[in-house]
Structure 1
Amino acid sequence: METGLDVFLDRSISKFKDANIGLVTNSTGINRELRMNIDLFLEKGLKVTKLFGPEHGVFGAAPDGAKVTDFIDPRYKIPVYSLYGDNLRPTKEMLEGIDVMIYDIQDVGLRFYTYIYTMAYCMEECAKYGIKFVVLDRPNPLCAEIVEGPTIKKDFESFVGGYGLALRYGLTIGELALYLNNEYNMGVNLTVIPMRNYKRSFFYDETELLWNTPSPNLPSLEHTILYIGMCLFEGVNVSVGRGTVHPFRYIGAPWIDSKKLYEELKKFNHQGVTFRERIFVPAAFKLQNQVCNGLEFFVTDKKKIKPLDLAIDVIATLRKIHSESFQWNDYFHDQSPRYYFDLLIGSDYYRKAIEEGATSKDFESIWQEESEEFLKISKKYWLY
């Protein structure tokens, strides 16, 4: 299998020999031999004049949520602009002198992953100034056949949710760019360089590519599969294992009775996953240096597991058995206090329903209807 980067270098590079290129990338911008895109571009004689980095920076090393600053790259002697600092969008000054912007970042196929909004904002700004936009396509590691979960509602759009997306949207990053450009009338001069020998049924471990760690807290495909649902714990007062060796495989807090939680969760009989009681101490982030009682999850069948249902049921159980300690996290968005859980899941309906005793089974018909509706729209942009 060849990524869009491999195909671009092999077949499309001559079209860009005379262009001044702005490259939006990070440490995932590698070819099959694990070589960085910028090195390969410069070797081929392309003029990369500016670099742009999303959350975690161009080296993928900055912590979750940390602002990243601009700098001059000491190796390439070119400016590196952060799109996760003072600016989430490239400014007119940043874009000056650029003929084409190339986006080459590994996605994970989930609505709350911030890289996709960096791409969307770059597309919108390039459209304003007549700059061509090229996306080098990469696999959806969670397979591009599955659309799952609720769609984002307009009143709950943020940098972790927008553009009418289903939570698990079942598109490659190139297909997503086509969807954004057409469904939201961005008007950018867009080119997508497709992959070769890719099947949308592939999970990442079926591509024969080495795992391309997309961000610091997704060290494996298993962690990424669990992230589909466990990211929702960012919206409650529970550690999701950030600051441990297994982010999104662990959940816990000092106040949790892990034995009771384990027993209650077993009753749901979730498929494709097993779990055990686990005590851990996060070295950073939420509940740093505190002993957390909770659970550790193991994916036993990546095609049967429903991480979103699993996460909802854990949250509902915690609220039921620890109503005195469980809390929803506030999040200040556009100067107004909001619940972060609502922004992640796309509506305040689910939080309110859980408070009334709902579990995942109460949401299944809604999710199925919304995901099927999104699939009808997004299927027009399938490339594979």
Structure 2
Amino acid sequence: MGFLSIFKSTFLLWVLILSSCGNKMTSHKNTEDPILVEQHTPLTDSLIMAANRTQEYLPLLKNKKVAVVGNQTSVIFKKEGHIHLVDSLLSLQIDVKKVFAPEHGFRGEADAGEAVKDGLDTKTGLPLISLYGKNKKPSDEQLQGLDVVLFDIQDVGVRFYTYIATLQLVMEACAKNNIPLIILDRPNPNASYVDGPTMEAKQTSFLGMTTIPLVYGMTIGEYAQMLNGEAWLDSKLKADIIVIPLKNYTHNTEYHLPIRPSPNLPNDKSINLYPSLGLFEGTNVNAGRGTESQFQRYGASFLKPSAYTFNYVPKPNFGSKSPKEEGKTCYGKDLSNTPKLQRVSLAWLIDAYKNTTDKNTFFLTDSFTKHSGTEKLQQQIEAGLTEQDIKKTWQADLDTFRKIRIKYLLYN
């Protein structure tokens, strides 16, 4: 109620301020400042990002000390391209005090699993506080003096993609310190289905903090509501959240991410295959890291050459300084022309296991268990179960989750 009162009391004043000084904030000839009005993304006719809906959240930031949780995807789309959310807020005299950076860093340049260091943003001079490394949750000291936290990160809807873990820990920290959290929603490119093994509670890690399926079919804003509503935050805390929703969006809306959400997800195909090929992260098989086709191929030097017509050699590159099987000829499959999936596929994982020359070293057991969320999947593959038989064991948990999920959906 306090937040709503602030909104009502400041909205009129904010509108007057924008009206009087809006023309001074931009050099564009257009009479409407493209930062201040809702703009369609360059790749759709009607979809509007929450970050573009500035009139919905700027009044909540006026005269507040603000922290932003964001990365390279935290942008406002304009007719001429885009502007980073932090740059936009600073240009509007919003008092941004610091930025919290998730895995891959604020500018999205760190490798997967690479520690992100604290420092200063070279462009804005703002303090950067890493939420990936030893410190994954904002501390009480780091939140001290803040009035509100703004969260804006592009997710891809896969449980082991760590941005939803960052969201959960930020929600817990804000709840503990009685700081409101505003979440700017973005599309989930894998929102049209729910599939995969459901994580067991005993497998909780940064690769999965709640007992949800591998693919959960929700935007990050919807998922935040679920975390609150199901009392899944630590000590059953409840965060004071406001979700700024997308406009003209459904879970079936086609959306092409114009900015890589992380270094090794370069395009739509990699994002679509990521729920399936991401399971290779828990094996010794290379899933395209060290090539320009990350998560669009798989292979290894220890897979039988006679079983494959495709091979490649991983080399260090952007986002992968030391890829698996570096410098070795990897035998496997090119999946770059695979039709779009609406499910998790185990076919390629099972294929690779059947064709490995050393089944004892194929799985990195602890890592694979954390990625899949269960010990059962490795055991099922090793026992020779078919994909169909394995998927039958998921269904009861998936049905239970779908019933929970529907309560928190903001979009059809």
TM-score tier by shorter-chain length is 0.7 to 0.9
Output aligned runs, 1:103-114, within 5 Å. 103-114=151-162
Counterpart for residue 177 of structure 1? 224
Counterpart for residue 267 of structure 1? none
Q: What is the CA distance between 1:367 and its match in structure 2?
A: 2.4
Q: What is the CA distance between 1:186 and its match in structure 2?
A: 2.9
Q: 1:28-85 CA deviation, whole Å, 9 max, x = no partner?
A: 0011222100011112221110100000000001111100110022332321100002
Does structure 2 conserve the Cα–Cα contact (< 8 Å) formed by 1:72 and 1:79?
yes
After TM superposition, the structure 1 stretch with the greater mean CA deviation from structure 2, 179-188 or 123-132, is 179-188
Q: What is the CA distance between 1:326 and its match in structure 2?
A: 5.6
Q: What is the CA distance between 1:290 and its match in structure 2?
A: 1.6
Counterpart for residue 116 of structure 2? 68
Aligned equivalents of 2:390, 2:242: Cα separation in 1: 38
Q: State the one-letter code of the partner of 2:251.
A: R
Aligned equivalents of 2:146, 2:362: Cα separation in 1: 44
Of 126, 138, 145 in structure 2, the residue corresponding to residue 97 of structure 1 is: 145
> SS of the counterpart of 1:32?
strand
Of 268, 273, 278 in structure 1, the residue corresponding to residue 311 of structure 2 is: 278
Counterpart for residue 85 of structure 1? 133
Q: What is the CA distance between 1:369 and its match in structure 2?
A: 2.6
> SS of the counterpart of 2:348?
helix
Counterpart for residue 268 of structure 1? none
Counterpart for residue 313 of structure 1? 347
The answer to whether residue 405 in structure 2 is matched with residue 382 in structure 1 is no
RMSD: 1.7
Q: State the one-letter code of the partner of 2:377.
A: Y
Q: What is the CA distance between 1:378 and its match in structure 2?
A: 1.0
Q: State the one-letter code of the partner of 1:301.
A: P
Q: State the one-letter code of the partner of 2:375.
A: D
**Structure 1 residues 293 and 321 mapped into 2: Cα distance closer, same or farther (>3 Å)?**
closer
**Structure 1 residues 258 and 31 mapped into 2: Cα distance closer, same or farther (>3 Å)?**
farther
Q: 1:244-298 CA deviation, whole Å, 9 max, x = no partner?
A: 10111121111222441x4xxxxxxxxxxxxx62323333321112221111103
Counterpart for residue 201 of structure 1? 252
Of 218, 230, 237 in structure 2, the residue corresponding to residue 186 of structure 1 is: 237
Output aligned runs, 1:119-138, within 5 Å. 119-138=167-186
Q: TM-score, normalised by structure 2?
A: 0.82
Structure 2 unmatched ranges of 5 or more: 1-46, 317-321
Does structure 1 conserve the Cα–Cα contact (< 8 Å) formed by 2:149 and 2:181?
yes
Q: State the one-letter code of the partner of 1:113.
A: Y
**Structure 1 residues 146 and 305 mapped into 2: Cα distance closer, same or farther (>3 Å)?**
closer
Q: State the one-letter code of the partner of 2:268.
A: L
Q: What is the CA distance between 1:328 and its match in structure 2?
A: 4.1
> SS of the counterpart of 1:31?
strand
> SS of the counterpart of 1:187?
coil
Counterpart for residue 265 of structure 1? none
Counterpart for residue 84 of structure 2? 36
Does structure 2 conserve the Cα–Cα contact (< 8 Å) formed by 1:316 and 1:358?
no
Counterpart for residue 20 of structure 1? 65
Structure 1 unmatched ranges of 5 or more: 263-275, 331-337
> SS of the counterpart of 2:336?
strand
Q: State the one-letter code of the partner of 2:382.
A: E
Counterpart for residue 271 of structure 1? none
Q: 1:294-315 CA deviation, whole Å, 9 max, x = no partner?
A: 111034432x554x32xx3333
Q: TM-score, normalised by structure 1?
A: 0.88
> SS of the counterpart of 1:140?
coil
> SS of the counterpart of 1:11?
helix
Say how many residue pairs are matched: 353
Q: State the one-letter code of the partner of 1:257.
A: K
Aligned equivalents of 1:301, 1:317: Cα separation in 2: 18
Output aligned runs, 1:254-273, within 5 Å. 254-260=301-307, 262=308
**Based on CA coordinates, which of the two structures has the bigger radius of gyration?**
2
Of 328, 340, 353 in structure 2, the residue corresponding to residue 290 of structure 1 is: 328
Counterpart for residue 348 of structure 1? 375
Output aligned runs, 1:350-365, within 5 Å. 350-365=377-392
Aligned equivalents of 2:169, 2:56: Cα separation in 1: 28
Aligned equivalents of 2:377, 2:359: Cα separation in 1: 19
Counterpart for residue 50 of structure 2? 4
Q: What is the CA distance between 1:353 and its match in structure 2?
A: 1.4
